Structure 1
Amino acid sequence: MLNKNYPLSMWLKYLEKSDKKIIYNLTELKNFAEKLNLLNSKAFIFTVGGTNGKGTTCAMLERLLLNSGYQVGLYTSPHLINFVERVRINGFFINESEYISSFQNIESVRNGMLLTYFEFITLSALILFKKYSLDVLILEVGLGGRLDATNIIDSNISIITNIGIDHTALLGTDRASIAREKSGIFRKNKISVIGEIDIPESMYQIAKEKKTILKKINKDWSWEKKSNYWNFIHSNIQLYNLPITQIPLSNAATALAALYYSDFKVNEKIIRESLSNVQLSGRFQVLSTFPHIIIDVAHNSDAALYLSKKIDEIDIKGKIYAVVGILNDKDILGIINPLKNKISYWFAAPLKTIRTATKNQLKNIFTMNNTCVLNSIYEAYQAAYLSVKKQDAIIVFGSFLTVSEFLSLKL
């Protein structure tokens, strides 16, 4: 076992190396968490699942509650630059020594129990939360829901942002199967706020089995976008002329709906201020103009389609160049097709992970004449930057790891 003198980076390498590869049911993990006294939080708990938009929904909830004076803990993933981004206490990251202490706590009592990397760091987050007197915990599901480590916690309100095709090897190849897995976060007699418009029947079936109370978009709550404002309608309140957010309105609205079903007290002035200020790194983030340099973590077809629509909203006078890195288990064509008609030239490259689509795989997929496959994201960006004029744009996307790698470059 590593001791307190080892840095966080060494602990993380240790966890990655010892990561078990098979995900079992959560019974053993829940029993272990109970031994650590992690299942009896007095805080109100939101668990946020879905294919896309989990991070921005969590960020919106966090901002609304913090601005209203509540003590809030947030657990989110993945991180972009630094591991400590995964946990925030009252809007702030905590220091590495606290993580190391929580890791030691887990390691000292697990007695050889196998844990995935994500299971280990989820337990760590719950240990960190116990150190603070928090009113609210916001837990972002890592993958799926039913077998995700966050699902050992019984939430007061669960949220499902949407259902799209992603992680098919683990969750299933159709929306019905994926919805069934994500519905695993439902709880008996508790509310689940659903932001998905086209709800698969399997989700209704799980809700009925679990006796979960569904609160659905366009039935129990709704939102509508106008030219330069939007409206939110809920059984408890109607809000008009709201400011346009820097995050997707669908996720801002889903967070608002969940907030109102929780009965936390948030006044309208704070809502309007929060909507204007909330943002999240890597989500259609404009780093510069002249030329435009934009980063986005879009890594599946639905997210790529949203990215395509966002590009339409900004005034790019010239050409658009794409810097792309994608994981090999993704639907690569599904990611690039929504943008094919907008991109003037593609610069693709493998990522610094064994999960990356290799250079040869990229060459077999990016067969268009307007494509160059290079050795790294650094090379891809340098090639793109040498090509652009002031009126042009560079879009960096394809994975969280693509954006993370780009942000780590010393440009």
Structure 2
Amino acid sequence: MSTPTTLPEWLALLESRHAETVINMGLDRVRAVKERLQLQFTCPVIMVAGTNGKGSTCAMLESILLRAGYRVGLYIKPHFLDFNERARVNGDLASDAMLVEAFDAVEAVRGDTPLTYFEFTTLAILHLMSKSPLDVAILEVGLGGRLDAVNVIDADVSIVTSVDIDHVDYLGGTREQIGFEKAGIFRPGKAAICSDPVPPQALIDHANAIGADLWLMGRDFNYSGDKQQWNYGGRGQRRNALAYPSLRGANQLLNASAALAALEVLRNELPVGAQEVRHGLVTVELPGRFQVLPGRPTVILDVAHNPHAASALNQNLGNMGYHPYTFAVFGSMHDKDIDGVIKAIGGSIDHWCLATLPSPRAASASELAAKVQATVPDPHEKTVNVFDTPAQAFANAMSRAGENDRIVVFGSFLTVAGVMAARKSSLH
């Protein structure tokens, strides 16, 4: 069978294979293919895990380091519209040709080792980056940490942003179990940064057991601030009079502090000046993280899909000022704590537009409607409507919202991606 020659063909092949490959928790297969690829990085590697906040932390690191003139590789996921969003080299998306070449390289050495879609694409993107002339690589961990395919690389600095309940089927149902999984990216003798203000004891114990250099929020680094500016304090470095990150939201200073702690660890290899930090924070962009679109009614895109993220989203909505009505476009995977998400944000929503997502793992819109009606107080004053797609749910919200109202699109990457795609096609 000949190998595909275009990126869409490759992705279709990997998806068809993935359906037949059982998700086998373990890194032996990935490690074997990594060895055959002779995959290694000659530049510092920063790895970022966490329940929420990892994408924001990666984006801030990339933005600051690019401002400082470094050649930066970033692996981030999932993608909204194009697979290429997952691999950025020097601030630009990897081209189809670069990705096809990387997929060919993995396929050439894979032999009969079965790899899931995620394992295969991770190895390909890591290979692509290792062959690019980079000064630093930033790698976002997908699920958990210990058994994530990214973890076949040894990071120079590891960050765990937050630890909360998510992916219970794979990671366990308590913060202690999940904290242990995320701490799996720590390495002996290397910096292990945790920006969760209340880190699970299991994470601390694991870091100490393997001899990692643990940096804890409040002990080894912290932040302070007023309405105008904020300050970072680390073990041996202070950064004062910083601008707030352009990423909006309650937890962004925790994420920014973790990023600055990582830069403090690497300050001999990758020195960064005050001006570059300020500019990097002010110009950082990350789609779908409390992203407020221009125009009216106000539209907010947020990939909040667990109670911890929904509670932060709710807080951010509360800080926005007055809007007569708030419409929610919401879709979710079946295995999420849907009741917890609805409970966290329900008080801010007047009208629910519920969507079935294009995934076998999705909860149906009618299931979501039953949960909203059971969870939200005074459901009679609120409207609840069901739709087959996020695009239809969004179109309905747009048709009913007044220009001073707001529409918040959340619940899953697929909810936000569906609305992004619909908006993109309506603009063309």
TM-score range, shorter chain: over 0.9
Q: CA deviation at 1:240?
A: 2.4
Q: Look up the SS of the partner of 2:46 in the other structure.
A: strand
Does the aligned pair in 1 maintain the 2:77–2:142 contact within 8 Å?
yes
1:373 matched to 2:372? The reply is no
Corresponding residue of 2:260:
256
Partner of residue 368 from structure 2, selected from 359, 362, 366: 362
Whole-angstrom distance in 1 between the partners of 2:205 and 2:321: 45
Counterpart secondary structure, 2:158: strand
Q: Per-residue CA shift, 1:156-198, capped at 9, x if unaligned?
A: 0100001011000000000000001111101011111110111
TM-score, structure 1 as length reference: 0.96
Aligned to 1:227: 227
Aligned counterpart, 1:277:
283
Check whether the contact 1:321–1:344 (CA below 8 A) recurs between aligned residues.
Answer: yes
Q: CA offsets per residue over residues 292-344 of structure 1, 9 Å max, x none?
A: 11111111111111111111221233111111111111111111212111111
RMSD of Structure 2 on Structure 1 (CA): 1.3
Are the equivalent residues in 2 in contact too, given 1:162–1:195 (CA < 8 A)? yes
Q: Structure 1: how far apart are the matches of 2:348 and 2:225?
A: 24
Shift of 1:74: 0.8
- Provide the TM-score with structure 2 as the length reference: 0.93
Amino acid at match of 1:82: D
- The answer as to whether partners of 1:23 and 1:147 remain within 8 angstroms in 2 is no
Aligned ranges for residues 280-319 of structure 1 at < 5 Å? 280-319=286-325
- Three-state SS of the structure 2 residue aligned to 1:309 is helix
Deviation of 1:236 (Å): 2.2
Task: Please list every run of at least 4 consecutive aligned residues from structure 1 whose deviation after the TM superposition is greater than 4 angstroms.
Answer: none
Q: Secondary structure at the match of 1:304?
A: helix
2:9 alignment partner in structure 1: 10
CA deviation after TM superposition for structure 1 residue 4, in Å: 4.8
- Is the partner of 2:348 in helix, strand or coil? coil
CA distance in 2, matches of 1:103, 1:291: 42
Q: Secondary structure at the match of 1:366?
A: helix
Q: 1:322 aligns with which of 325, 328, 332?
A: 328
Residue 94 of structure 1: CA displacement?
1.7
Find the aligned partners of 1:160 and 1:318 in 2 and give their Cα distance.
38
Q: Are the equivalent residues in 2 in contact too, given 1:49–1:140 (CA < 8 A)?
A: yes
User: SS where residue 58 of structure 1 aligns?
Assistant: helix
Q: Which runs of 5+ in 1 are unaligned?
A: none
Instruction: Indicate the residue corresponding to 2:376 in structure 1.
Output: none
CA distance, structure 2, for counterparts of residue 363 and residue 340 of structure 1: 12
Residue 193 of structure 2 aligns to which amino acid in structure 1?
A: V
Note if 1:401 corresponds to 2:414.
Answer: yes
Q: Which range is displaced more, 210-219 or 381-390?
A: 381-390
Instruction: Call closer, same or farther: CA 1:246–1:142 in 2, change over 3 Å.
Output: same
**Identical columns (%):** 38
Deviation at 1:215, TM superposition (A): 0.4
How big is the shift at 1:261?
1.2
Structure 2 residue identity aligned to 1:309:
Q
For 1:262, the aligned partner's letter is: L
Say how many residue pairs are matched. Answer: 409
Pick which of 83-92 and 315-324 moved more.
Answer: 315-324
Per the TM alignment, residue 64 of structure 1 is displaced from its structure 2 partner at its CA by 1.2
Partner of residue 112, structure 2: 112
Do the aligned residues in 1 keep the contact of 2:196 with 2:254 (CA within 8 Å)?
no
Which consecutive residues of structure 2, in runs of 5 or more, have no partner in the other structure?
374-378
How do residues 81-230 of structure 1 correspond to structure 2 at under 5 angstroms? Answer: 81-230=81-230
Report what 2:42 is aligned to.
Answer: 42
Stretch moving more, 48-57 or 248-257: 248-257
Aligned to 2:398: 385
Q: Matched residues in 2 for 1:346 and 1:18: separation?
A: 37
Q: Whole-Å Cα distance in 1 between the matches of residues 84 and 407 of structure 2?
A: 29
CA contact (8 A) 2:48 2:140 kept: yes
Encode CA deviations 1:223-275: one digit per residue, 9 max, x unaligned: 12322321211122222221111222221111111111112210111111111
Q: Distance in 1 between matches of 2:153 and 2:246?
A: 30
Q: Is contact 2:208–2:214 with CA below 8 Å preserved after alignment?
A: no
- Give the Cα separation in 2 of the matches to 1:324 and 1:271: 35
CA distance in 2, matches of 1:24, 1:270: 40
Q: Would you say the 8 A contact 1:316–1:393 is kept in 2?
A: no
**1:339 matches 2:340:** no
Conserved? CA contact 1:2–1:104, under 8 Å = no
